[in-house]
Amino acid sequence: MFLYGKNSVSERLKNNPQTIKKIFLQTNFNDSNIEKIIKSKKIAVDKVTSKELFRIKNSSPLQGIVAEIEDFVYADFYELLDKPESERLSLIFLDRINDPQNLGAILRIAACFGGIGIVIPKHEACAVNDTVIHVASGGENFVPVSMVTNMVYALKEAKKSGYWVAGAVVENGEDVFDSTLAFPLALVLGSEGCGIRPGIQKYLDFKLRIPMKGANLSFNVTSACSIFCYEINRQLK
């Protein structure tokens, strides 16, 4: 995998440097703080031209720096469930989120609020790839992501472990700001086009909606995630 851009590489250097295999710097790269960290972590560096850097990672903007990193390591789902009560995470189950931009933004949101784990399905959804970790801007270093084969089975296991399961809906749900959330909480966010699948909906303990007094539209999944995470964090305090 390749990580690119100053912010993403800088956060990886600070928080997870052992996963970096090599760093490629454009010959005119000039950021003394990043170069100082690279040197202190004793990470191998190759100086390359802009064309060579673009061949290594065909994306934009690279900002003159690309890091070759180890493949993303998914968290064990049962380890997330088996945490001591005082360390239990709120879990966000993502049902068929296919856009890596959305998944990356959700990782960043979860990292900002803290105390959140992400669960994604193995099939019909985006995995954690180069684009996801670039958009996450370092968030991937702080948020455990578990990939499960069967979302329904995973939700059943979460419920057995004591989690309450809520689903984010546009209509026919409780106002999230008027609800007293039950913890530990697992929140299901569905795809923007189809919402939460019917097969998953029947395992929800309750449904939550974001009140909207404006246009007859809906929030995209990342905006909705941010609002729900805010309220989860507020009620946990």
- pTM strictly above 0.85: yes
Section 75-99 average pLDDT: 95
Strand partners, 48: 26
The pLDDT of residue 155 is 97
Q: What is the pLDDT of residue 224?
A: 96
- pLDDT value at position 134? 94
Confidence band of 82 (pLDDT split at 50, 70, 90): very high
Q: Specify which residues 4 forms β-bridges with.
A: 66
pLDDT value at residue 70 = 97
- CA-based R_g, the chain, Å: 19
Given a cut of 80, whether residue 55 has pLDDT beyond it is yes
CA angle 226, 227, 231 (to 5 degrees): 115
pLDDT score at 233: 96
Q: Which domains does the chain have, with CATH numbers?
A: 2-69 (3.30.1330.30), 77-236 (3.40.1280.10)
CA distance 221 to 218: 9
Tell me the helix, strand and coil percentages in the chain, rounded to 5: 40, 25, 40
Q: What is the pLDDT of residues 215-236, one digit of tens each?
A: 877 889 999 999 999 999 999 9
Q: Which of the four pLDDT bands, split at 50, 70 and 90, describes residue 191?
A: confident
Percent of the chain's residues with pLDDT above 90: 90
For position 216, what pLDDT does the model report?
A: 75
User: Closest by alpha carbon to 161, among 197, 186, 140?
Assistant: 186
The CA-to-CA distance between both ends of the chain, in Å, stands at 37
Contact yes or no for 169/208 (Cβ under 8 A): yes
Q: Is 82 helix (H, G, I), strand (E, B) or coil?
A: coil
Residue 23 sits at φ, ψ, to 5 deg, of -120, 135
Residue 213 pLDDT > 90, yes or no? no
Q: What percent of the chain has pLDDT over 70?
A: 100
Q: What is the pLDDT of residues 117-167, one digit of tens each?
A: 999 999 989 999 999 999 999 999 999 999 999 999 999 999 999 999 999
Q: The tokens 């180890």 sit on which residue?
A: 70
pLDDT band at 194 (very low <50, low <70, confident <90, very high): confident
Mean pLDDT, rounded, of the chain = 95
Asked if pLDDT for residue 188 goes beyond 90, the answer is: yes
How far, in Å, CA of 42 to CA of 4, rounded? Answer: 19
